[in-house]
Amino acid sequence: MPSEKLANRERRRHQGENRVTLEDVARHAGVAPITVSRALNTPEKVSAKLRERVDHAVKVLGYVPNLIAGGLASAGTKVIPVVVPSLSILTFIEVIHGIQQTLENAGYQVLLGSTDYDLNREAALVDSVLGYSPSGVIMTGLHHRDTTVQRLKAWGRPVVELMELGTSFIDMNVGVETSEAGGCMASHLVERGYRRIAFLGTGMERDYRARYRYQAHREVLERAGLDGTLLFQNEEPASYEAGRRVFLEALEARPDIDAIHFANDNLAAGAIMEANRQGIRVPEDVAIGGYLGLSLAEHLTPRLTTVALPRFEMGVKAAEMMLDRLAGRERHSQRVDLGYRLAVREST
Amino acid sequence: MPSEKLANRERRRHQGENRVTLEDVARHAGVAPITVSRALNTPEKVSAKLRERVDHAVKVLGYVPNLIAGGLASAGTKVIPVVVPSLSILTFIEVIHGIQQTLENAGYQVLLGSTDYDLNREAALVDSVLGYSPSGVIMTGLHHRDTTVQRLKAWGRPVVELMELGTSFIDMNVGVETSEAGGCMASHLVERGYRRIAFLGTGMERDYRARYRYQAHREVLERAGLDGTLLFQNEEPASYEAGRRVFLEALEARPDIDAIHFANDNLAAGAIMEANRQGIRVPEDVAIGGYLGLSLAEHLTPRLTTVALPRFEMGVKAAEMMLDRLAGRERHSQRVDLGYRLAVREST
DNA sequence: ACATTTTTTGGTAGCGCTACCAAAAACTCC
DNA sequence: GGAGTTTTTGGTAGCGCTACCAAAAAATGT
């Protein structure tokens, strides 16, 4: 025989938590709960007199809106997951910085996810963060598992994919033509008259964008009648030390190399610093070019020639595209090319 | 005269969303909704046979748990806000990396907040993120508005404050003795025999930890009978360029300086690279010490002497302390000193 | 075979807010 | 002053899941 239904008060959950709710604020202010909600969220719909009473009650009671309940009731939160392959690579850090600053200023929160270049992990992460009913998702790169693409398309809310540009993207795409950017450095080295140009990279097994750049590098060299297969790589994560090591490896294997195209500036910087220590003159003995545009590039001796990406701006733009979409504005194209810049300095 | 109550189906919200809910999964699997919830969250409480039916239904229907609803029902989410003063300073980036990796591996999500060294902004941010009913909060530094401290203490869930160690903290504290660390470099320079030692920093108006280190630097010098007031600073954000500039400023103002204690490695690296360009010999003409332990320090010519902080480890430890608390374990002290290390290299 | 205990499964009110519908109050026009 | 319109305020079911209580089934012991 079922027991009698408990009164609401008796059946209460989370005993002892005793948090102030919107209902408490409503009672204190002498208005309906929905008026408190309106006062906080759409104050223009509430008279000045009642707004004042509500604001006072909020202050006196120390009320903090429960965004979980609000999110459930309105089918969404002001959270934007940002999914990147790595948090130890400065590129993504600067992008995140641009995103976070722009979104936070617009009243949104960034949920941070890192896939470690693993598409299965990305798929699981996307499933997980969608559970928070975010307003949209910002993710890195155009390569995903089919399930991830399908899931996000079916989800139907704004998605920005950033870094490289492509012709096929889920919703919006912002970045640079990554192959073209790689080819740009190769062209520069060829135009400078170098003949035995090597490509040095690390972690390229996982970093397909670096592979694209090598591809483009190769094509440029072969079109110029040069050997594009001088490639030195390993799977170390990119670092100054990795750059130092792969640089020494390359010079030992092929002392005739007259220019090196590094997959990124960290590697290039490590090489330049090692060259300085060993009395190898850059660019006299070997020219060095990088990719990314780290600020360090301007301070090295010699200053590093690099292909500079607008990383922080990319983050800002991705966030702006997201916010415009969320606000129902269509100010941006769905595909935005931010362009890169060849910064020719002393190292070539 | 009020209209008749609408049937549930007729009164349904969010028309057209048509998302798969746990109830749909329950119907498909032929079990109660709570059984689906248990199968997903505490599978050991469900028989293997029913678990299989549930898992199959989840897959067939493409169900994604609504963590908002789950969070409301259970009075909490598996989200951990991480609040840092800046996303453009490598220190905090590496800490965030340690935190995020550890929490993500434990099934938690990081909500990222940046205060830009503004305690009012921090207060607003804390109020905002508490609205998501997070499991705990990780924040940077021990300086907060009184309202922030009161709010977090009243909240009663785990809070970790990281970076500098103190005697008064909200809940848990992990970091290093920041003054002692600053004094360490000063002692090193004094012991090395330098007599006119300057302290160079930027952004110290906002970065109280740097001020603490200057304070300690000063005390060490004055205890050694030396002038501790040789201070060169401005409010530029720390960068290689800022380091370059303040370095040149200091040398111009006081050509007799024989050693420089930089507030951080970015500044020190900028100075060393500029010294190289200008033919100023380090440490012969002027010795240089830094603070932080950037990997760049090991690659410069000369290699930089620095006080190294375990930044990534600090993040990992903060997250572990949080997770232990959340799991009801008391493996850690509430105050963990990670220690720093004086890395003596060529620049002194 | 039955009693007792343990394990598994289920019902439902409620977590806190808001979308939706509606009523009341205020304002404007004739 | 009353009719019509606009603005402001209110009631409540429901968003999706789960804590709590309870029932049913299975397992164990005598």
pLDDT category, A13, cuts 50, 70, 90?
A: low
Q: Which two tokens stand for residue B301?
A: 């010519």
Q: Does A203 touch chain B (CB under 8 A)?
A: no
Asked if pLDDT for residue A1 goes beyond 50, the answer is no
How far is residue A271's CA from residue A200's CA, in Å, rounded to a whole number? 10
pLDDT for B2-46, tens place per residue? 333 333 334 445 554 668 999 999 999 999 999 999 999 999 999
Q: Quick check: B111 and A114 CB within 8 A?
A: no
In the predicted model, what is the mean pLDDT of residues A330-343? Answer: 90
Domains and CATH numbers, chain B: 1-65 (1.10.260.40), 78-176+312-338 (3.40.50.2300), 178-309 (3.40.50.2300)
pTM for this prediction: 0.91
Size of chain B, expressed as the number of residues it contains: 348
Chosen for mutation from A68, A138, A146 (greatest number of chain B CBs closer than 10 Å) is A68
Q: What is the pLDDT along chain B (348 residues), one digit of tens a residue?
A: 333 333 333 444 555 466 899 999 999 999 999 999 999 999 999 999 999 999 999 999 999 999 999 999 998 899 999 999 999 888 899 999 999 999 999 999 999 999 999 999 999 999 999 999 999 999 999 999 999 999 999 898 999 999 999 999 999 999 999 999 999 999 999 999 999 999 999 999 999 999 999 999 999 999 999 999 999 999 998 999 999 999 999 999 999 999 999 999 999 999 999 999 999 999 999 999 999 999 999 999 999 999 999 999 999 999 999 999 998 887 778 999 999 999 999 999
- The pLDDT value recorded for residue B13 is 58
| Complex ipTM value | 0.90
Q: Does A112 touch chain B (CB under 8 A)?
A: yes
CA B326 → CA B42, B150, B152, B319, distances in Å? Answer: 17, 21, 16, 10
Percent share of chain A, pLDDT over 70: 95
Rounded to the nearest angstrom, the minimum Cα separation between A64 and chain B is 6
The order of strands in the sheet holding A259-262 is A231-234, A197-202, A259-262, A287-292, A305-308, A341-343
Q: Which of A17, A112, A270 sits opposite B110 (nearest CB)?
A: A112
Asked if pLDDT for residue A330 goes beyond 80, the answer is no
CB contacts of A87 in chain B (<8 Å) are 93, 96-97, 100-101
CB contacts of B301 in chain A (<8 Å) are 273, 276-277
Cα nearest neighbour of B151 on chain A: A62
Instruction: Tell me the average pLDDT of chain A.
Output: 92
Q: Which two tokens stand for residue B221?
A: 């010098």
Determine how many CB atoms are found less than 10 A away from the CB of residue A37. Answer: 18
CB contacts of A97 in chain B (<8 Å) are 87-88
- The pLDDT value recorded for residue A14 is 58
Q: For chain A, where are the E strands, in sequence order?
A: 79-84, 109-114, 137-140, 159-164, 172-176, 197-202, 231-234, 259-262, 287-292, 305-308, 335-337, 341-343
How far is residue B116's CA from residue A87's CA, in Å, rounded to a whole number? 20
pLDDT category, A327, cuts 50, 70, 90?
A: confident
- The per-residue b/e assignment along B125-141, b for 16 or more CB within 10 angstroms, e otherwise, is bbbbbbbbbbbbbbbbb
Asked if pLDDT for residue A126 goes beyond 60, the answer is yes
Q: Which two tokens stand for residue A170?
A: 């889920």
Cis peptide before A283 (omega within 30 of 0): yes
Q: How far is the CA of B72 from the C1' of C13 (A)?
A: 14
pLDDT for A34-92, tens place per residue? 999 999 999 999 999 999 999 999 999 999 999 999 999 998 899 999 999 999 888 89
The residue that minimises its CA distance to C1' of D8 is A46
The residue that minimises its CA distance to C1' of D15 is A73
Is any atom of nucleic acid chain D found less than 7 Å from the CB of residue A32? yes
- The pLDDT value recorded for residue B194 is 97
Scanning residues 145 through 184 of protein chain A, those with a beta carbon under 7 Å from any atom of strand D turn out to be none
How far is residue B292's CA from residue B85's CA, in Å, rounded to a whole number? 16
Q: Does A133 touch chain B (CB under 8 A)?
A: yes
Asked if pLDDT for residue A15 goes beyond 60, the answer is no
Cβ proximity of A13 and B75 under 8 Å: yes
Q: For chain B, where are the E strands, in sequence order?
A: 79-84, 109-114, 137-140, 159-164, 172-176, 197-202, 231-234, 259-262, 287-292, 305-308, 335-337, 341-343
Q: Does B80 touch chain A (CB under 8 A)?
A: no
How far is residue A248's CA from residue A246's CA, in Å, rounded to a whole number? 6
In the predicted model, what is the mean pLDDT of residues A262-283? Answer: 96
Q: Which two tokens stand for residue A31?
A: 């208005």
In the predicted model, what is the mean pLDDT of residues A189-217? Answer: 95
A/B interface, count of CB pairs below 8 Å: 150
Cβ proximity of A26 and A35 under 8 Å: yes
- The pLDDT value recorded for residue B2 is 32
- The pLDDT value recorded for residue A17 is 61
- Give the rounded distance of the alpha carbon of B12 from its chain centre: 43
